[in-house]
Structure 1
Amino acid sequence: METVKRISLALIIVGAINWLLIGLFQFDLVAALFGGQDAALSRVVYTLVGIGGVLCLPSLFAPIEGDDYNYNTNYATEFSEDNETFRDKE
């Protein structure tokens, strides 16, 4: 699975560089290398870049390793009692 993630990341980097060139210079590198945007090989590259992006979506929502932040929040305020204190009084 690690190999698939690396290939997906490489495809995303290719797509990002291509979009950078399109944005800065109006030059589509993939289309220039493979015979235009409508060429079959260009469409394959565009499709592979899209699939690579979809495969990397879960890593966007995965927890960060080594993140020790405590996500347990306490919603009590100075104007109300938290649930534990309220249960103790009953």
Structure 2
Amino acid sequence: MRQIPLGYVATYGDVASLAQLPGHARLVGYALHALPEYSDVPWQRVINAQGKLSLGRAYPGGDLHQRHLLEAEGIVFDANGNIDLKRFRWQP
């Protein structure tokens, strides 16, 4: 996750594949959930495969926090709250 550049996102599945764990996107989610509160891992750059934020289910308001962090990096959301993966998805 530290390799994802500022202003780009990757999906949970992307991160799993890069970790040589294809098909284990949920495992990435569990790992992110286990991060300490003040971790310097750029967790906000990992989103779901539909270009949406998933954090709101686990932490009420967490999706808004994630959105603000991503917007501060220059990532744009559409009217439905989605990120254009063709534009902002990191391709290593």
- TM-score, L = length of structure 1: 0.27
Give the strand-richer structure, 1 or 2. 2
**Which one scores higher on RCO, CA 8 angstroms, separation ≥ 6?**
2
Q: Which has the larger radius of gyration?
A: 1
